[in-house]
Amino acid sequence: MSQQEARFTIRSLFVTAAGTVIATVVLLHLSGRLDHGIGTPDHVAIGDFTAVHVNPGEEFRMSPRASGLHGTCENGFLAIASDTDPVFRGILVDYRKRGVRCQPATSE
């Protein structure tokens, strides 16, 4: 390959690629479309839950192992808490971030 046929050097291609990646990350950050997840530990998803509809008298299958989580009622909303870490707790919300209501247990 002669000098005139080589229009771009390998070095210029690497610099262009690196510059493009950096510019893309900066623009996504400035437009708010890039979430770093730093500084907002209060709004981190704890897990992905699925509701299983069960008709009366109908059997359903689930794992025999416990999840390590339990549900509690916090200020009228269902909270999911860890069995081992008392600080690990979160309010259960739907896909629109609306809380799932619950009724506190009544003492008899």
pLDDT digits (tens, 9 = 90+) for 36-55: 766 556 666 667 788 888 88
pLDDT digits (tens, 9 = 90+) for 15-40: 999 999 999 999 998 998 887 766 55
pLDDT digits (tens, 9 = 90+) for 86-99: 888 888 888 888 99
Number of neighbouring beta carbons within 10 Å of residue 80:
19
Confirm if 71 and 100 have CB atoms less than 8 A apart. no
Tell me the two tokens of residue 58.
């109908």
Tell me the two tokens of residue 75.
């200020």
* Residue 103 Cα to chain centre, angstroms: 27
pLDDT of 88 reads: 82
**Residue-range domain boundaries for the chain:** 1-34, 42-91
Q: What is the pTM of this model?
A: 0.50
Phi, psi dihedrals of residue 46, rounded to the nearest 5° = -85, -40
pLDDT of 24 reads: 96
pLDDT of 2 reads: 56
